[in-house]
Amino acid sequence: MPSSAESRPPTLDEVAARAGVSRTVVSRVVNNGPHVSRAKRDAVEKAIRELGYTPNRAARSLVTRQSGVVVLVVSGDGPEVFADPFFAQIIVGASATLEKTPLHLMLSLATPTHGRQRLRDFLQTRGADGVMLVAMRGDDPLITIAERSGLPTVFVGLPLNGTPPSYVEVDNAGGSRAATEHLLRGGRRRIVMITGPEDTSVGRERRRGFTEALLLAGLAPYAIEPGDFLQDGGATAMRALLSTHPDLDAVVAANDNMAAGALRVLRDAGRSVPGDVAVVGFDDQPIAMHTDPKLTTVYQPVQALGREAARMLVDLLDGAKPEPFILPTRLIVRESA
């Protein structure tokens, strides 16, 4: 009669040992992840065949003692947040990764009133196997809720305070720096910025990139006005900047929504874009193609954020320790600058 060691299915660790790679590499191959060399992928696939390992068996075995559900949590005041193209693309990306696994994706809107308590209760009763937290602000209590649950947690975007072990982020400072350098190359010198919320890492990092680019050019920011990532907020900030600095010649907006609001105010004020004032946004959301003129902006791979966050969470559930991941941005030059 075969021993239990002989009859049990092979483990992820055994595949890793046979292939001579880390457990993380095996998990990425099993889940069709990127950033694995052809040689390592071939070695893992060979070990899988030789050992008779069934891909995703580890994830499926979780069902006997866990839920088979992972939850993507967004902090917000109402369900309209899920209509924002940014969050919609995060969901699309995460879903694409999880379709290759037995795990189901659950969306949770953690409103300050009842949503946070419902999420706390849900996680404490082990309703989910893991958590993805999106775009946390300040000392959001959701961070503590996730930490106290003891569940594997991945941050989509860094929290404001502290650096968690597992996160996926884009190069916000680098993207903002590239946008500002583009304006400098175009001869602009009186450059202002409409920032994102200061209680977000995204807002602070994009402001930092803007300031660094100017300092490297021997300049100081001409003016900085706070914004809220909304079109109306961008319009309000642009009106304030025109009032205090009417000779400004360029605007860096921390996202496309605020850039669209700024363009509307500039047009109403009789300023031509890019003739009088150049405008650059950030995100490359669909609105960037529908402004007049079309918006020069910084592309960030939002769907890839969702894909990588879900992939990282699957790795954590498989017992691996994936490294934090920072995705690159790139400048998209159109008509506004």
Task: Identify the residue with better confidence: 81 or 96.
Answer: 96
C-alpha to C-alpha distance for 155 and 212, rounded to whole angstroms: 26
Token pair 């917000």 in the structure block, residue: 76
Tens of pLDDT, residue by residue over 196-238, are 988 888 999 999 999 999 999 999 999 999 998 889 999 999 9
Could you tell me whether strands 330-332 and 297-299 are parallel, antiparallel, or unpaired per DSSP bridges?
antiparallel
For CA atoms 185, 189, 194, 199, give the dihedral sign.
Answer: positive
Residue ranges of domains in the chain, CATH in brackets: 4-55 (1.10.260.40), 65-170+303-327 (3.40.50.2300), 172-299 (3.40.50.2300)
- Tallying the residues shown for the chain, one arrives at 337
Cα 324 from Cα 126, distance rounded (Å): 25
Position 80 confidence tier, pLDDT thresholds 50, 70, 90: low
Q: How confident is the model at residue 307 (pLDDT cuts 50, 70, 90)?
A: very high
- 56-65, 152-161, 289-298: segment of lowest average pLDDT: 56-65
Higher pLDDT, 85 or 262: 262
CB-based contact 248:193 (threshold 8 Å)? no
pLDDT at 88: 86
- Exposed, middle or buried, 80 (CB in 10 Å: 0-12/13-18/19+)? exposed
pLDDT at position 2 over 50 = no
Residues forming beta bridges with residue 251, ordered by sequence position: 192, 279
Q: How far apart are CA 159 and CA 201, in angstroms?
A: 6
pLDDT at 275: 95
